[in-house]
Structure 1
Amino acid sequence: MSEGPTSDPTPRARPGGRSQQVAERVLAAVTQVLIEAGYAELSFRDISQMANVSRTTLYRRWPSRADLAIDAITVAATDQMTPPDTGNFAADLSALLGKIADFITSPLGVAALSASLEIGASEPMARELFWKKRFGDLAPMFERAQARGELPAQLDIEAALAMLAGAIYFRVLVSASSVDEEWIQRIVTTFLAGA
C-alpha cells in the first residue's frame, strides 16, 4: 500500500516507547565507544551491532558519525550539568562550576572534549551547534538572576559563560591543576565583583 502525500517517514519519538528505547541503546553504545576507543573508532557498523539496531535506522536519525557523537555527548552533558535553581545566583554558579569540573575530568568528559576537537576539524558547524545548545541550556540560570536583580540586565550571558567555564577548562587542561571549592569560590567572587 502506498503512503499518502502527508506521510512522514521519520520515526516519531514516543516517551518511553520503542523509539526512545532504541535511542537510549544507541547513545549508550556511542558513549562506550567514545570512552574506550575514541571518536576515530566510532562506526555505524559497530554501533549497529552493539545496540542491536539496523544501520538504516541509525542513518535515518543520525546522518553522520558527528551527529551520533554530539547527540550522545549532549545527552550526557545535559544529564550531568543541569543548572541548579536555589534562588541564589552565587550558590547556583558555584554548583554549576563544580558540575562542569566533575564532567570534564570524568572519562566521558575527557572523551567528549577529544571528540569535539576531532569533529571541529572536519565539521566545524556541528561543533558550533553543540556549544550553542549548551549555552542555551545554561543561560536560564543567568536570566533568573537578572530577573531577581542579582546581575545587570545588559550582561552578555554567552560571554559570561565562556569566561566562567573557560576558567575551569584552563585550570584543568592548561595548568593541570585540580579544581577545588576554593578555586570555584575565587572564580565566583571575581566574576560577581566585575558584574
Structure 2
Amino acid sequence: MEDPDAAASAPGPAPGSRRPGGRTARTRAAVRDAVLTGLAEHGYPSLTVEYLAEHSGVHKTTLYRRWGSVEGMVADALDLAGEDEWTPPDTGSLAGDLRALAHEVVEGFRDPADAAAPTAFVGAAFQSPRAADALRAFYGERFRRCETVVTRAVDRGEAPVGTDAGAVVRAVSAPLFLRLFVTREAVDERLADQAADAALAAVTAGVFTGPDGGPARRPAAAADPRPAPREG
C-alpha cells in the first residue's frame, strides 16, 4: 500500500482534485478501478473505504486525505472516466451517425459484467449528491461531444439551420436509457435503429428547430427528485 507518511510530506490536493502525472495518476487510476469493481460487485450502499483501500492498494489515510469519503472517490472515478479521448462516429451521414451512436450504447451494455458498473453509477446518483453531479457532468460532456454529428449534418444540408444538436442527441439516447435504467428491459440493435430513425425523422420535420429558425426552447431544469433530508 502507498505509504501515508510519505504521501503526507507534501501538501495534498483538495478531495478529488486533479493533479495528473506520476504517482498521483497511478493512485487515482487504482482507486478508479477499485470503485468500478466495488460498484459492480456490491453496489454503492455497500462500498466502504476499507474495501477500496484493500482493492486499490492505497492506504486508508491517503484515501481520506485526498477524497474525504467513498462519495468523493465515486465522483472522482466518474471524473476520470470523462477524461478519455472518445470521439463520436463519422459515417458521412446523419442517419449513419445517429445509428452508430445508438449502437454504441447497446454494445456498451450487452455484457452484464460491463454494464454492472455504469448501472451502479446511476444508482449511486440517487443516493449521493456528489455522485449525481459527477454523473450529470459525465453525460453532459459526452453529449457535447456527440453534438458534432448534428453540426456536421447542418453543414452538409441534412438538417435545418438552428437545429438543437443537444436535443437531437438526447432524443437518440433517451429511449435506450429508459429501458436500461428505468424499466430494466433489454436493448438491441433493432431498438437502437428505431431510436435513431425516430430522431432523424424529427430533425427532418424541424421538431428541434424553433419557430424563429433558432434552436427549439428547452424546458426548464427539473427540480432535484431526491427527498430533502430530515431534520433531527
TM-score, normalised on structure 1?
A: 0.75
- Distance, in Å, in 1 between the alignment partners of 2:158 and 2:147 is 14
The reply on whether 1:96 has 2:101 as its aligned counterpart is yes
The reply on whether 1:12 has 2:19 as its aligned counterpart is yes
Mind listing any 5+ residue stretches in structure 2 that lack a counterpart?
A: 1-9, 204-232
The reply on whether 1:179 has 2:188 as its aligned counterpart is yes
Match for residue 122 of structure 2? 116
Match for residue 142 of structure 2? 134
Mind listing any 5+ residue stretches in structure 1 that lack a counterpart?
A: 1-6
The within-5 A match list for 1:31-42 is 31-42=36-47
- Distance, in Å, in 2 between the alignment partners of 1:175 and 1:112 is 14
TM-score, normalised on structure 2?
A: 0.65
**Root mean square deviation, CA, Å:** 3.1
The within-5 A match list for 1:1-195 is 9-10=12-13, 12-14=19-21, 17-73=22-78, 75=80, 82-105=87-110, 106-123=112-129, 124-172=132-180, 173-174=182-183, 176-180=185-189, 182-195=190-203
Secondary structure of the structure 2 residue equivalent to 1:155: coil
For 1:183, the aligned partner's letter is L
Whichever of the two has the greater Rg, that structure is 2
Counterparts in 2 of 1:69 and 1:80: CA distance versus 1, 3 Å: farther
- Distance, in Å, in 2 between the alignment partners of 1:101 and 1:126 is 22
Secondary structure of the structure 1 residue equivalent to 2:126: helix
Secondary structure of the structure 1 residue equivalent to 2:52: helix
| 113-122 vs 29-38, which moves further | 113-122
- Percent of aligned positions that are identical: 28
- Distance, in Å, in 2 between the alignment partners of 1:125 and 1:73 is 10
For 1:174, the aligned partner's letter is T
| 94-103 vs 79-88, which moves further | 79-88
Match for residue 3 of structure 1? none
Give deviations 1:67-89, integer Å, cap 9, x for gaps.
42244346557769742223322
Give deviations 1:124-162, integer Å, cap 9, x for gaps.
444433432332333333333333333233222332222
For 1:19, the aligned partner's letter is T
Q: Which has the higher helix share?
A: 1
Counterparts in 2 of 1:51 and 1:111: CA distance versus 1, 3 Å: closer
Instruction: Tell me, yes or no, if the aligned pair for 1:93 and 1:188 is still in contact at 8 Å.
Output: yes
Secondary structure of the structure 2 residue equivalent to 1:153: coil
Instruction: Tell me, yes or no, if the aligned pair for 1:80 and 1:103 is still in contact at 8 Å.
Output: no
